[in-house]
Structure 1
Amino acid sequence: MPENTREALVVAATQLMDVGGLEAVTLREVGRRAGVSHMAPYKHFTDKEALLAAVAARELEYLGSAMTKIQEHGRPAEATLRLAMHEYVTWALAYPVRFKLVFGVWSTDTGSGELGAAAGTARATLGQIVAAAQRTGQLPPGDTERLAALIQALAHGAVDLALAGHVSAQGKGNAGPHDLVDDLLGHLRASAG
């Protein structure tokens, strides 16, 4: 059970979004589902975009936290990176509307604050994992941020293609998103050698 009204509203919006897409999320319906008045959401969010930004921030916080937990297990750096990217892919495939929301276009105002901070933390955590793999020679040296962007872009694109039916382990491409992440990391490891 959410600890406060704002969190209850974010949870309600996420549930509505998971079932009916972004169109299903209205401040009135979110309030109703959260068990508060239809005006209560306006005390916490200026509009629907602000509420969706809070949902996106919560998802990025989840991803950052999941990567941090994976990082804390003391595995070899490349195994940590592989597990972190598999977590990213698994989350994106399980929650495609959340995935599209988080990585959608945000206005400058909405993209700052809570959402910007969550995105920065998640990106920094991925960068730390990539840097550790570079230091141990499991990934090639060079611009860590650029390499992290390459790895995330492959995972992101593979998920997009899988969601659209353009790649699958038993069909087009002969590989699903997890397989493609593994392939890229294998190629990167070989080029680091």
Structure 2
Amino acid sequence: MNLREPLLEAAITLLDKGGPENVTLREVGRIAGVSRTAPYLYFASKSALLAAIATQELRALERTVEDLPRETLTAWDMLWHAIRHYVSWAQERPERFKLVFSTWESESDELRRAADRAAELLVELIVRCQDEASLPKGDPWVLAAAIRAFAHGAATLELSGHLLVQDRQPLNAVYLVENYLAAIPFLAPGNDAPAGPQRDLARKVG
């Protein structure tokens, strides 16, 4: 009997309730209904277990992008859906979000491959947006890094309660990222307005 999935589910339950500090291999075994030493047959250490959770979360994010209907959505629509899902995931699963983007204590080839693939998928979307003229030309890796950094920062600030506007009212990270994406075409030299369907969104920024 393969206990890997039940053990991962138990570990995620503990993670969601109290962060990485709340996860121990013995407690994972107890919640999964197996001996407290059984988890060691599948995960050499707590760090390896946390790396497996991070890998699973990254792959779930990747599937969200890969499953988008390319036949009916523009590249811009796909990019927006992907970024919106990323920010919503951070809001709904904050401990998983923090784990995935924390310093990894375990050298895991699977985790590295999952992280690389997630980055590649975002770059592929950026290139498609550039091809349809909804984003400006330029190094797609740099643009992808900027979008990802902004989305990550907005999500992190909202989680910590520091995403505020002038009247010190909370600002929604999804709304902020939406307006940031809409403003990107203005940053390209010689561009006076976005070429894609984000034109109406951009009016909110000004």
Report the equivalent of 1:141.
137
DSSP-derived class of the 1:70 partner: coil
- Whole-angstrom CA distance in 1 between matches of 2:75 and 2:165: 26
- Whole-angstrom CA distance in 1 between matches of 2:131 and 2:158: 32
Question: Is contact 1:166-1:172 (8 Å) kept?
Answer: no
Is 1:114 matched with 2:110? yes
- Whole-angstrom CA distance in 2 between matches of 1:73 and 1:183: 26
- Whole-angstrom CA distance in 2 between matches of 1:136 and 1:73: 14
Question: Is contact 2:135-2:185 (8 Å) kept?
Answer: yes
Alignment of structure 1 residues 1-193 onto 2, 5 Å: 4-70=2-68, 72=70, 74-107=72-105, 110-167=106-163, 172=168, 175-191=171-187, 193=191
- Which sections of structure 2, spanning at least 5 residues, go unmatched? 192-206
Runs of 4+ residues over 4 Å off in structure 1? 168-171
- C-alpha spacing 1:27/1:73, structure 2 compared with 1 (3 Å): farther
- Whole-angstrom CA distance in 1 between matches of 2:94 and 2:174: 15
- C-alpha spacing 1:141/1:172, structure 2 compared with 1 (3 Å): farther
Superimposed CA distance per residue, residues 132-161 of structure 1 (whole angstroms, 9 cap, x where no aligned partner): 101111111111111111001000000111
More helix per residue: 1 or 2?
1
- Whole-angstrom CA distance in 1 between matches of 2:170 and 2:19: 30
- C-alpha spacing 1:122/1:181, structure 2 compared with 1 (3 Å): same
Shift of 1:190: 3.5
- Whole-angstrom CA distance in 2 between matches of 1:125 and 1:71: 15
- Whole-angstrom CA distance in 2 between matches of 1:27 and 1:145: 38
Greater relative contact order structure (CA < 8 Å, 6+ sep): 1
> Which AA in structure 2 matches 1:176?
N
- C-alpha spacing 1:34/1:70, structure 2 compared with 1 (3 Å): same
Question: Is contact 1:169-1:176 (8 Å) kept?
Answer: no
TM-score by length of 2: 0.85
TM-score by length of 1: 0.90
- Coordinate RMSD, CA, aligned: 2.0
Shift of 1:70: 2.3
- Which sections of structure 1, spanning at least 5 residues, go unmatched? none
- Whole-angstrom CA distance in 2 between matches of 1:68 and 1:23: 33
